[in-house]
Structure 1
């Protein structure tokens, strides 16, 4: 009798573990080539008799719980807050904001107005998190990440705000003219062949909207001073801004914002707030998701893992035991928990502080839409960095205007100001961009992530260097990503190359799941059936 592909894969998995089965599926063409970054394919009974306790209910914890539950593991998740999601946090009317050293804030937004205190956009190439949106039936809409009607303006300067369309297109026109002059004068003859020059000059004319003499005299791309209208009302553009004025504006670099790979269209957001992703996981996971469970101790032993936690409501202390633990708690928070980790692991965890990031939102009538700004960002630099306009609820009466989203060293100093002063600075920036409308800003909300309990920062600062993405080769990062010697696995966006993005949490969780699946799959193959499951994974 012939061997079916299904039976063949089961046998491969039994003898070689998850990794061998995965490789076989790839070889047989049963997985797409991009599947290396997707969730491991596991049998529904792979985790039968095995238990996992997951510490932290952010996106990484939820992905781990969702997938391991479906592979037959007994899963328990502990979350210190009264909500799931971690940094995925949407503020609505009635939401409470607790910050270390500050009075609590209670949100009083109108119905339908919300603020994504953490992540607020989903790049189209983040297939991991978008895949869960599809699975969990989380409805998405386009997030307008860039508007040519928005502004760039050096905060606090005497300069007038410049429309993004003028900054982009006037700069492009001047550069195209300069390059065309260099080509025509033979300055690039060593770099360009005659054929190249003959092709480049027409391109530069189109690229910069140059005139017949290859000069830049302005362009409709930068906007009209007279709009086209009925009969003989022709549209006319104004004179370009001088190149020296553009170059002296420190926010000119913001015109390249949407060219960054993480910011390129198309961007998405869940309808109704980013926490709809969290709600989707919560609907789908059947295992215990225990909230208000503050982890106090973690003990990694040869026979299993024991986690002691305190119920923050009743004060009762309880213990959860399991075969494995997955720790997604931010490292600077984990460093304060009593553990028996190896000295090198403890040192690595303790070496990673949190970074700084602040958001300030206001409810307001949608005055920005009268300036043709529908979504997108005005860049101002300084302490507040930007003003971000809402993409949802267009043409409704009121919306949430984000008047500050700054990170890094400036954010640290800004968070040291009183909340009243932070709000005043943010209002002042709006006054500079939209004079007179600062008086319409109401119901302010301040989120200093360095003060948020159980986060104490938006993302890690390995080696004192923060950032939402980059090439991380820090020794602590490398060590904590290794296959553990014991039964505790570390997982989370902070252990990915995208620590500021939910995609990093998803991909780190997938890697953790793969390691556990491989370990369990191999142990099942070499362990006699009479041996206990706890010993089987030793």
Structure 2
């Protein structure tokens, strides 16, 4: 069977990149650059051309892999001693270095790890899941929501998630059913709709024959079922409606309804960094680690990058035809570059959000409360408690006592490391009384202090801002989605999901499309390139 890729390969073998470009334009394979999917490039498309990829996070790794598959020579430079970027898994012995803070060293038991950055993969993120599948990275279910977890508030009042969800639903169903039966909604509900809606509300809220909510076993058992005929289950006593409404965390009962949080969620077995490791393992040329970029230059003929090998301090120069730059914008703003003034201003103006995590190792006391993964929402400075989905029923696990972002995170990161740990431990002790002391060997990550990141993702709408997903369309955003000469920018920051790895994949694909377009345009207009092709 002749595929488009095979056809383009045959055209390229006889006519070079210029002929391939013409064919791709005819086939409609060059679209709007920043929205373009990964083009079907033949394996010889990039022959004789060298792309330098800066940064070995997901965007850099995907760009490097796909460019290599299209025949480009790729040099991948990474300032850290590891690949993955924000997809950072901390294990025993690993060090956490933050600007202005003492170095922390992880002291985790065998099998315990801490995903300092992303920790879940939505099932509709088929880009990143596809690369996991392609590179044989085993996945397991990430339990993102547990009905046994809690919504809690200062003072120690806590409500089981199943009770908060189902009791609230029961009370609201009762109110709506009564309003319909009393004729209060006759102008909004037809007689035919009423005949269908009222029985539904009775089932939806588990109402009695008088359409009153008196409690439901959905919220838990008052008396659990047992053996024989004398151990029938009974529903737990419902939480009073005013108590539910008084809990400021009640809106978090809708957490799992958000598209990004809906089951089924996944995680790589052994840590989020395994996807990055799997991609790099498949590269023809592995990443050059500890390579800190100091200078970027470009001309009509190519690009030049100067980097320093961090352990030795030795300076090196790499030349090439194009750059895919995935360096976070706050970091890039501090590098000596010759971008046009408009581009430099746009880069310097990108404000990154704040995000913090505080993790502990502990015996799995939460499992004795039937909590297997999921999140308890506590509000305050620490926001939530996140329970591990991996290693269920093992002796010990990693429990997250803080995960904040936005304005709250900006304030929290000003506390000392000891104060951040104390706040996270206190939140855990509030929800699980007496177990704060079980939480040991803490680790703190303040992403704005992490070298070579200086933040988790852009706050394109400013801080405080709304959800990190969606409708990024500022002038700076549009400019940075376009090439700056021979430099193409790529990262989750340049997607509509800047906090998710899926955005990094999408941006990497767009970057490859932009490089392919540049090669095509030059092959069509520059005689030397036509001859070389």
1:9/1:24 contact within 8 Å kept: no
Paired residue for 1:260? 258
Q: For 1:389-417, what per-residue CA distance to the aligned partner results, in whole angstroms no more than 9, with x for missing partners?
A: 01011111111111111111111111111
In structure 2, relative to structure 1, the CA distance for the partners of 1:151 and 1:8 (3 Å cut) is closer
Once the 2 structures are TM-superposed, how far is the Cα of residue 54 of structure 1 from its aligned partner?
0.7
Q: Distance in 2 between matches of 1:55 and 1:347?
A: 20
Paired residue for 2:304? 306
Once the 2 structures are TM-superposed, how far is the Cα of residue 64 of structure 1 from its aligned partner?
0.2
Q: Distance in 2 between matches of 1:266 and 1:159?
A: 31
Does 1:136 find its partner at 2:135? yes
Paired residue total: 521
1:414/1:422 contact within 8 Å kept: yes
Which deviates more, 6-15 or 130-139?
A: 6-15
2:421/2:444 contact within 8 Å kept: yes
TM-score between both structures, scaled by the size of structure 2: 0.94
1:230 to 224, 227, 230: 227
Please give the residue correspondences for 1:106-125 in structure 2 after superposition, counting only pairs within 5 Å: 106-125=105-124
Paired residue for 2:293? 295
1:361/1:404 contact within 8 Å kept: yes
Paired residue for 2:177? 180
Q: For 1:123-149, what per-residue CA distance to the aligned partner results, in whole angstroms no more than 9, with x for missing partners?
A: 000000000001110000000000000
In structure 2, relative to structure 1, the CA distance for the partners of 1:122 and 1:37 (3 Å cut) is farther
Secondary structure of the residue aligned to 1:234 is: coil
Paired residue for 1:434? 432
1:79/1:291 contact within 8 Å kept: yes
Q: For 1:16-50, what per-residue CA distance to the aligned partner results, in whole angstroms no more than 9, with x for missing partners?
A: 44753653799xxxxxxxxx875321100000011
Paired residue for 2:189? 192
Once the 2 structures are TM-superposed, how far is the Cα of residue 189 of structure 1 from its aligned partner?
1.6
Secondary structure of the residue aligned to 2:28 is: helix
Paired residue for 1:96? 95
Q: For 1:446-500, what per-residue CA distance to the aligned partner results, in whole angstroms no more than 9, with x for missing partners?
A: 1111100011111112242455312212221111112x25101011000001010
Uncovered stretches (5+) of structure 1, i.e. residues with no partner: 27-35
Pairwise CA RMSD of aligned residues?
Answer: 2.1
In structure 2, relative to structure 1, the CA distance for the partners of 1:8 and 1:479 (3 Å cut) is closer
Does 1:332 find its partner at 2:337? no
Secondary structure of the residue aligned to 1:321 is: strand
Does 1:23 find its partner at 2:28? yes
Paired residue for 1:30? none
Which deviates more, 230-239 or 359-368?
A: 230-239
Does 1:42 find its partner at 2:41? yes
2:161 to 158, 164, 169: 164
Q: For 1:63-115, what per-residue CA distance to the aligned partner results, in whole angstroms no more than 9, with x for missing partners?
A: 00000011100100111111111000000001000000000001010110000
Q: For 1:416-440, what per-residue CA distance to the aligned partner results, in whole angstroms no more than 9, with x for missing partners?
A: 1111111111110111111111111
Paired residue for 1:73? 72
Secondary structure of the residue aligned to 1:49 is: coil
Q: For 1:180-215, what per-residue CA distance to the aligned partner results, in whole angstroms no more than 9, with x for missing partners?
A: 111112222222211111110011111100111111
Paired residue for 1:32? none
Once the 2 structures are TM-superposed, how far is the Cα of residue 527 of structure 1 from its aligned partner?
4.7
2:210 to 186, 209, 213: 213
Q: Distance in 1 between matches of 2:526 and 2:425?
A: 66
1:69/1:75 contact within 8 Å kept: yes
Does 1:481 find its partner at 2:486? no
Once the 2 structures are TM-superposed, how far is the Cα of residue 10 of structure 1 from its aligned partner?
5.1
Q: Distance in 2 between matches of 1:16 and 1:345?
A: 28
Uncovered stretches (5+) of structure 2, i.e. residues with no partner: 13-17
TM-score between both structures, scaled by the size of structure 1: 0.93
Please give the residue correspondences for 1:310-459 in structure 2 after superposition, counting only pairs within 5 Å: 310-459=308-457
